[in-house]
Structure 1
């Protein structure tokens, strides 16, 4: 069963985040991981692509890293585009290597209660089975412009 997250919590997470390491990002422009990473970059987030199969290539203006051991920047959020069974070692690696990490975000269809509990025990917020692109669009008014009822009341047109 998916967890529920308040709009205030999601807005706070997205508002405080500046640098996102996207695990499993693809250079294939038709893949969701590519267009989510691209969108986040266009919204002002620094996106650090992580994918061992494409390490060393340039993607979205950044060098693709093989894994988190190659990330020296301060990362606020790790966004995971891998199947749920691959989550625990990614979370362990992130908790070990990223001392300023504030959020682990697991994409739609990705959930792992044990890894989430471990991260929360270390003071890291966890979001599962959600997409930061969709949540950003919903919470900051972009879906409304497309005619979607977002459930957000605003005086903006």
Structure 2
């Protein structure tokens, strides 16, 4: 089933994925996009940080990219930190560049986009924190 909420399926996604594109990264350490991405990076994932407002700057030791089109390799997990109304345009761009899993952080869910991606047979994780999933499901 393309909408993933099952613990074992989430674990498998995290175990087989190595690249995470974070859309909506913030340089502010107290923002969820920042501290969640920091944990994901510490867990061994290669992260690409996307935010056109901060393009070219460095956050978490990584150069911020302006668009998904700038990611130089296959996006395995697209981790979303955007308002629900912005997710439709993001999904369009993601379809163009390709991705394996569309991961919507809590508060970013757009029901229409989730339904559309599900109908297309795409893998969607709606409303779960990737940091929490990494900490709970990837224990050594």
Output the TM-score relative to the length of structure 2.
0.90
Aligned to 1:52: 52
Specify the SS of the correspondent of 1:64: strand
110-119 or 69-78: bigger deviation: 110-119
Specify the SS of the correspondent of 2:121: coil
**Number of residue equivalences:** 138
102-111 or 66-75: bigger deviation: 66-75
2:125 is aligned, of 116, 124, 127, to: 127
Q: Shift in Å at residue 66 of structure 1?
A: 1.0
Q: Shift in Å at residue 117 of structure 1?
A: 2.6
Aligned to 1:43: 43
* Residue 115 (1) aligns with residue 80 (2): no
Describe the superposition over 1:75-128 as per-residue Cα deviations: whole angstroms up to 9, x where unpaired.
101100011111111011001112xx1100000122112212332344321011
Output the TM-score relative to the length of structure 1.
0.81
1:105 is aligned, of 79, 103, 106, to: 103
Q: Judging by fraction of residues, say which structure has more strand.
A: 2
Structure number with greater CO (CA < 8 Å, separation at least 6) is 2
Distance 1:18 1:4 in 2: 18
Distance 2:139 2:45 in 1: 17
Structure number with larger C-alpha Rg: 1
- Structure 2: where are the runs of 5+ without partners? none
Aligned to 2:14: 14
